[in-house]
Amino acid sequence: MPMMRIDAQGFMTGCEYVPSPNCDDRPAGAIELLVIHNISLPPGEFGGDGVQQLFTNTLDVNAHPYYMVIAELKVSAHFFVRRDGEIIQFVSCLKRAWHAGESCWQGRPGCNNFSLGIELEGSDNIPFADAQYAALKNLTMALRATYPIRGIAGHGDIAPQRKTDPGHCFDWAVYLAGLCGA
């Protein structure tokens, strides 16, 4: 896998960019946290366009019954890592993506203000693919080379009353192996 890098506008080179309207200006301050999530749409199904449609507010509510439940959500993430390791970027790293919701990390509320959200195509109960771990490691190294990242947390770590992702099937040891300062 070629070396990834983040350009001055907050975009990863060599990555597909699909702009999400679900973002806004980030308040002043450093980007210090990576938040790891999982998502699949429809739930437990992989490979479709549901996540991309959700993040771009183009979800076809007639395509699956679950879509009616989430139709009004306005959410996004900076990056989405598919099962095969393909990475899609939805929001510049310099913008605030709407991925964490009500959250707190090390006593600091509002994690969207100082974090980057990375969604993995998956669910709490299905193991993640080796290609995802490889892509996530490379993405993490590129982000750490660009921003003063101090921590990495799961969505469930920063919003434990609401969230459980990336879930018990996410292998933190595999992900963090070889990442300096992990």
Asked whether residue 7 is domain-assigned, the answer is: no
Look up 119 and say whether it is catalytic: yes
The strand pairing partners of 152, in sequence order, are: 34
Separation CA 88–CA 19 (nearest Å): 10
Q: Is pLDDT at 1 greater than 70 in this prediction?
A: no
Closest CA to 155 of 75, 67, 45, 88: 75
Q: Is pLDDT at 182 greater than 80 in this prediction?
A: no
Asked whether residue 136 is domain-assigned, the answer is: yes
Asked whether residue 69 is domain-assigned, the answer is: yes
- CA–CA distance from 15 to each of 24, 30, 125, 166 (Å)? 21, 23, 28, 23
Asked whether residue 9 is domain-assigned, the answer is: no
Q: Into how many domains does the chain fold? A: 1
Asked whether residue 125 is domain-assigned, the answer is: yes
Q: What is the mean pLDDT of residues 60-78?
A: 96
Domain of residue 55, residue span: 16-176
Q: Is pLDDT at 167 greater than 70 in this prediction?
A: yes
Residue 101: left if φ>0, alpha if ψ -120 to 50, beta else—which one? left
Q: What is the mean pLDDT of residues 81-90?
A: 98
Asked whether residue 64 is domain-assigned, the answer is: yes
Question: Could you tell me if 96 and 24 are in contact, meaning their C-beta atoms sit under 8 angstroms apart?
Answer: yes
Asked whether residue 93 is domain-assigned, the answer is: yes
pTM of the model: 0.96
Asked whether residue 91 is domain-assigned, the answer is: yes
Which CATH number is 99's domain given? 3.40.80.10
Q: What is the phi/psi pair of residue 36, to 5°?
A: -100, 130
Confidence of residue 178 (pLDDT cuts 50, 70, 90): confident
Out of 45, 72, 119, 121, pick the active-site residue: 119
27 SS3 class? coil
